[in-house]
Structure 1
């Protein structure tokens, strides 16, 4: 048996490397883009949520998803589910759903990676040192709340149903049934929201987890296959839905503010 004293590398220490990382590529670029993109979207969304105007097109029943469901006394005819909250400036018009949507996105597995790297530098990239002295994982406050992602998924599914209802109701015109560019945008946004919600890792586990024999559950197996295919595009869908949400909101705002006219195809 070879002893420590006779080994060729005995007594040697690890090479002292002054550089924090030996990566020579632009490893900082992806987290920078993520930081800029998420900051821009959160800024836009925050301004719109507290703007309290230009969220509803009465003529065509267009309601921006940022205000759905509208539940304050400011909502007027946009309130499909009543107005239990007062018209307080500090209360968002979609006060009942916004916290759950925020929670679903914040606890999403992809978004955790995105903002851990871009905002907390934990770590900013592979083979790059963490920006913090110690790491305790998601076992302590506040990150322990990441574990409620499963329950946030259920809330997000309910909200997606409400958004689907909004898109259906929007097929309205003064003459009855109507169809315009706004409908295309609202429906497209709903389709993307469902794709992102169903591609969630929690959804994949819910439909296919704890099954010992897929052959005995053909319906759940088929659904699991569909969700698995969507799951491979979860990151892309996360960004696409941020784009469709902003586009839908901006279009409804532009029509409601009379900046543009809705392009009508039928009525």
Structure 2
């Protein structure tokens, strides 16, 4: 065996020879593990719920009021129930292993996975990189976001563009839902749920760091671009709440889908204000 093949890579990160030699994983005495635990439980619960609901193909559309859950929008297949395809059915029947909302779900997943806040959340909670401040990560090497799969994080801006289109689709769904059981205009509790979800989804999408860079990036003189400066200022205000919106929109997505499911399945009746 050659001498070169026996040489091991030098440790990186907290294991380098220049770092202090502390055998304990951390000297912290507080419950530093609690935030990562809550994060992984919250994200895991959403992933399980969203995955199940995306594949069951039941109780996702209320024909009487045109309520459509965001997990199935847009529904572009002839497999969709009648009326759920707000943009037509250019696709034929889909096998059961393909979710009816497949046209946008991968892009929305990509947008969330590459989001700057979610990166911090699951890097710490799932990969322990690092699990908390002043807590050594278990990995001996660190390559950053330069290799697969993490190099895909650099495509966040492109996922953002698709997320904008999806927000427009969801907005259209919310407008179409102002429909009465006997036809014409109608307004019920479901409309409030759909509207709340759409507004918060827009807030989360526009508070994205990529949106902030698109609004004001590469400008050398803000005074020469007053419109972009104003937009950048508004996006920057939203950006300070990006973490809260990231979690809130997970909740409103589940709430919206769950409410539509209850009404569509006949478990509850929609509270109508105008019908």
The structure number with the bigger radius of gyration is 1
Give the Å deviation of 1:85.
Answer: 3.9
How much is the aligned-residue C-alpha RMSD, in angstroms? 1.3
Give the Å deviation of 1:27.
Answer: 0.6
What is the distance in 2 between the residues matched to 1:16 and 1:254? 57
Given the alignment of the two structures, is residue 152 of structure 1 paired with residue 159 of structure 2, yes or no? yes
Give the Å deviation of 1:80.
Answer: 1.5
What is the distance in 2 between the residues matched to 1:250 and 1:27? 33
Task: Give secondary structure in 2 for the equivalent of 1:91.
Answer: coil
Q: Which residue pairs with 1:3 in the alignment?
A: none
The answer to whether the Cα contact below 8 Å between 2:79 and 2:92 also exists between their aligned partners in 1 is no
In structure 2, runs of 5+ residues without a counterpart are: 1-17
Task: Give secondary structure in 2 for the equivalent of 1:87.
Answer: coil
Runs in 1 of length 4+ with deviation above 3 angstroms?
13-17
What is the distance in 1 between the residues matched to 2:20 and 2:128? 26
What is the distance in 2 between the residues matched to 1:85 and 1:197? 31
Q: Which residue pairs with 2:184 in the alignment?
A: 176
* Residues 96-135 of structure 1 mapped to structure 2, 5 A cutoff: 96-135=103-142
What is the distance in 2 between the residues matched to 1:122 and 1:85? 44
In structure 1, runs of 5+ residues without a counterpart are: 1-12
Taking structure 2 as the reference length, what is the TM-score of the superposition?
0.90
Given the alignment of the two structures, is residue 204 of structure 1 paired with residue 188 of structure 2, yes or no? no
What is the distance in 2 between the residues matched to 1:48 and 1:97? 15
The answer to whether the Cα contact below 8 Å between 1:120 and 1:131 also exists between their aligned partners in 2 is no
Give the Å deviation of 1:102.
Answer: 0.3
Q: Which residue pairs with 2:269 in the alignment?
A: 261
What is the distance in 2 between the residues matched to 1:59 and 1:42? 29
